[in-house]
Amino acid sequence: MSEANELRQKVEDALDKVRPSLEADGGGVELVGITEDNVAEVRLRGACKGCPMSQMTLAMGIGRVLRQEVPEIEDVRAVD
């Protein structure tokens, strides 16, 4: 497996840890890609999309877990 695919799999595994709590509130998250400078780009779905708390969810929930589980990830950014 290439380094890029390995990193993507690590990020997907980390996202799997936060998905149940997002789904419990009717939301979700999808990994769109990882930039060359190791920024994970994610798309918030369902109730998370447009939720007033989505930026906090992204920073304090998804971002924290990703940086903890995958130290190579520098940041997390929501994309449309």
Domains, in order of start, for the chain:
3-78 (3.30.300.130)
SS3 71: coil
| Pair of tokens at residue 36 | 């060359």
Please write the tens of the pLDDT for every residue from 11-42: 999 999 999 999 998 999 999 999 999 999 99
Instruction: Say which residue, 53 or 10, is predicted with more confidence.
Output: 10
CB 55 within 8 Å of CB 19: no
Q: In the predicted model, is pLDDT for residue 73 greater than 80?
A: yes
Q: Are strands 75-78 and 27-34 parallel, antiparallel or unpaired?
A: unpaired
Q: What pLDDT score was predicted for residue 50?
A: 81
Contacts (Cβ under 8 Å, ≥6 apart) of 53: none
Query: How many separate helices (H) and strands (E) can be counted in the chain?
Result: 3, 3
